[in-house]
Amino acid sequence: MMPATSGPQRAYYRLVPRVKALEPERRRTWVSLAAAWTGLVVPGLFLGGWMWFLGGGGLSVAPPLAAAALAAWLSPSLTYPFKHEFKRKVIRPMMRELLQDVDYAPLGSVSPLDLEASQLFAVPIAGIEGEDLVIGRHDDVDVKFSEVVGYSEISSQGRATLLAPGSDADLKTKQIVFRGLFFVADFNKPAQGRVIVHPDRLEGRIGPLANALQPAHDRDGLVRVRMEDPRFERHYVVYATDSETAHYALSPALMERLAEFREKVRAPVAFSIIYNKLYMAVATRKNMLEPPLFGPLASPRVFRGYLEDVELFLELVENLGLNRDIWGDGAWP
């Protein structure tokens, strides 16, 4: 955790007046949301009950379901003005306290090229949806991160449909490849080899036997490298250009920090070191930097939650030593 005099603490005390000023709007938004749900769902329930009384059977569930669907469809438009103001008046200034040369785009995200360049995903990324893009510098290291949903497209050419039983149209459906937080940071030195590290889903369940079940090579021909740190091995499986490259990049201290990071986020983590970039994907459904609707905004506990979302990655830059020459002198193997 960062010390009390750090940017996050300064951000909290400077932004408390702005947060408190948004409290009336939060209450109005909550009331509007509650009114919309009550005004739609309650009549839908009465109508469904009346249809049931008249012998409507299964059709009686249609009115409440339709009312709930309409309320859910309207909810984002009711909450958007408040969320937009919160991010403009609170989150953007907070980022300026934490990062240098910062740019914050509430509706932006990292690009599909970033996900492709990481080589962490087995299928091509056809497109992404995301929000809360942060681009800036921390300890003289360029960083960017955002929430992202990356998806691939699956073709179903020639599949028969009710409207076109003999259709030859090339139909495409989306399949989610990754959902979570995606982080990119610059390295001080370019790397000649590649290190790809995936979550180890077997080690924690079956212990050392997992090593015998994991493939010796990945899809790109990288070799499986077993590391000496048992704690790191419980969370990660390493593939690299060769064993020398993996051990050169993943020093004992670095593996310890990465294991601690995985345990702190309590979610699957994958990362890669390719040329002069570190890419990291944290598979989580947590909605980053969203204001609460059903509790006071100025609570230190609530604000701490916003800061922790960002600090996870800022501490990663510090803990991994990206701002120092952690690789030592000389080129990569």
Sign for the pseudo-dihedral over CA of 242, 248, 251, 254: negative
The pLDDT value given to residue 218: 61
The pLDDT value given to residue 219: 62
**Helix axis angle, 23-53 relative to 7-21, nearest 10°?**
60
Beta strands 236-240 and 141-155: pairing type?
Answer: unpaired
Per-residue pLDDT of the chain (333 residues; tens, 9 = 90+): 444 445 556 666 777 888 888 889 989 999 999 999 999 889 888 988 888 888 777 788 888 899 899 989 999 899 999 988 988 888 888 888 888 888 999 989 999 899 999 999 888 888 889 998 999 888 778 889 999 998 887 765 544 444 444 445 556 688 888 999 999 988 765 567 889 998 876 444 444 444 444 555 566 778 888 888 889 988 899 999 888 888 888 888 878 888 888 888 888 899 998 887 889 999 888 777 788 888 777 777 776 776 776 776 777 677 666 655 544 444 444
3-state secondary structure the chain: CCCCCCHHHHHHHHHHHHHHHCHHHHHHHHHHHHHHHHHHHHHHHHHHHHHHHCCCHHHHHHHHHHHHHHHHHHHHHHHHHHHHHHHHHHHHHHHHHHCEEEEEECCCCCCHHHHHHHCCCCCCCCEEEEEEEEEEEECCEEEEEEEEEEEEEEECCCCCCCCCCCCCCCCEEEEEEEEEEEEEEECCCCCCCEEEEEECCCHHHHCCHHHHHCCCECCCCCEEECCCCHHHHHHEEEEECCHHHHHHHCCHHHHHHHHHHHHHHCCCEEEEEECCEEEEEECCCCCCCCCCCCCCCCCHHHHHHHHHHHHHHHHHHHHCCCCCCCCCCCCCC
- From the list 223, 269, 230, 266, the residue with the least C-alpha distance to 244 is 223
Residues paired with 199 in a beta bridge: 236
Phi-psi domain of 207 (left: phi exceeds 0; alpha: psi -120 through 50; beta: other): left
Domain ranges of the chain: 87-319
The pLDDT value given to residue 191: 61
- From the list 273, 268, 254, 263, the residue with the least C-alpha distance to 333 is 273
